[in-house]
Structure 1
Amino acid sequence: MKKRFVSILLTCALFSSLLSGCGENDLSKYPNGKLYVYNWGEYIDEDVISEFEEEYGINVIYDMFETNEIMFAKLAQDNSAYDVVCPSDYMIQKLIENDMLKELDFSNIPNAKNIGDQYFEQSRDFDPENKYSVPYCWGTVGILYNKTMVDDPVDSWDILWNDKYNGQILMQDSVRDAMMVALLKNGYSLNTTNPDEIAVATADLVAQKPLVQAYVVDQVRDKMIGGEAALGVIYSGEAIYTARENPDLVYVVPKEGTNVWIDSWVITKDSKNSENAEKWIDFMCRGDIALKNFEYITYSTPNTVAQENIEDEAIKNSEVAFPDLSKISTESYKYLGYDADRLYNDAWMEVKSADY
């Protein structure tokens, strides 16, 4: 859910250059039309886009978003602006409930058979009949810490309130992810709609704020690699990448539990190129393509063919990449409705506006 955004401007510039160089309207190169894709930053191997264009003769216009909320606002403004999008679980539920998605024709997506049954089963939490979405990546949220800078046990969300690490803590600049940490710390559900529980979590986040170095989205990765912070809330896919770059970094899922998330491909209700969108989803479900994406973005793939063909045994058997969820207390985000959205957003505004 979440994703490396630091080089997004460079990546956008690259795609713009590619498009202007080959001609977006060059019918000889792209006889089968266009496809407008909206995805997280750095959430695909760029070569995969070129391979798709070459194989299908379809011109891909590729844009990126930083949060689910930004993506939803864009689609709410113009549902036809993009054909295929990659939201997270609870946002897919919200899109379905707002009649903003098109039902998929799985006869045109035969490679969906490569997605493990357990991921489609988990998807039923937000797409009850598996009609609208195909899983792309999944993972957990946890604490990344630098073992040379932290000398306390890291097994609880509580450590993010430890005064010893004042100015050395990174929190996610995301209402659901930040609130999740405080809610689980207090033993509450990350999907609670109880105003009293939300108030307790809000007060905890306000109390924690003086200790926080920064509220960031994907910059946790680079700050932790560079030794700029001791502890950070991070997504498991990022943790795999950071361990490659800095062996002092360790990822932990706290004992109170975590969010297990799925990001999935969906097609917008007013898509102008829905057939091309189905071709894209089918292409992404190919074993070789899913493996290529996994090796680039390091987020766990639900594609069983890709999983079987991972050559690095340490990654293939990694408890970070492919954890045994029966050993972890987990819950998935759900869309909680307008009133709860307002409660959470008001709470987050209170945290962000607290003055110290």
Structure 2
Amino acid sequence: MPANIRRRANEKSRAVHHALGPRGPFPDTPMTRTLERRWLHYALLSTDGELGLVANVAWLGPACAEDARAPQCTTILLLHRRDSGWEASQFNARTAAPLWSAFHQPHDHGQATPLRLAAVAGAPAVDLLLSRTSHPCVSQCAPFADDQHLRWQSETGVTAQGEWSFKDGTRRLARAVGYHERVRGFWGWPELGGWVFGFANAPTKALADGPTAPPAWALVFTFINPPAPVGATTASLMLWRDGRMVRHFARRNVSMAVRGQLSRDKVRQVPELANLFGVAPMAPIPSRLVITGAQGDDRLLIDLDVDSAARVVIPSETSLQPFSVHEVIGPVRVHGRLNGADFAFETRGIAEFAGGAGGD
């Protein structure tokens, strides 16, 4: 092909790409600010209720605008077995490119693509085929401090099939359903304050009927509580039916309550290298979490009992105080009323409690 024709074809391709937006989950712009962050988050629960997975791939911007190096990337994988609790990789888990994301374009429903994550030591590890069955929620943003913000977007009904490998050599073929989230923004841990994130999918026969069948009901809740300015708290509760979001209970229509405290014997601090440092006492973890949403005659209640927790110690880039993220898992009871019709189900769910490590 002559050079001038090839050049025009490339220019046309770039123009079409620009019109349709980036093909990846994030904008096609370099990260230039300190504390600029991008995350891909994964959470899955096996359909037999025995296994759970949480994984996070994060990129952190350069130390200064003149730093031309690639953003720092960290990856952590946590697996849970009901009989033995949590285990985790270090923050250097290996990934296979390209990373699976529901926000890659184009990405059809039912299109099974791989997600491979593994600790450098070989386990824990997963080798999965993931598929979309649902549609994402609207993108949401929480501004706080002077110029910081956190933006996120979730998609429920992600189905997975494949192998789960544990440190004791156990390997399990499992089917799972969960959710996926992309997060980006610019924040420091002390300024962020704390959050509660979580999800639950109704027990589903999606994997028996095929990878394109979404859960009958799915939900995601968020609660972000920065210390400043006054009124910066953000909350939402989103409900999907058959793969489409049907209700978004916003901040003023959502309430959260916690009760009790999980025994510290049921908490495992990860990654293992974190046990070598003198970190502050961990924040207490509630043994029960209740989220409610109300809008007109519509109602939604999520009642989560915590079975066990993994405390992920995250160093702060702006202070000596570590930040503590707790991944918790346990049975969930959901009751709701939508358009005059009642519904209810019981399942297992995953939530994150996060905040200062000093018990804040």
Q: Which has the higher helix share?
A: 1
- Scaled by the length of structure 1, the TM-score of the pair is 0.23
Taking CA–CA contacts closer than 8 Å with sequence separation of 6 or more, which of the two structures ends up with the larger relative contact order?
1
Q: Which has the higher strand share?
A: 2
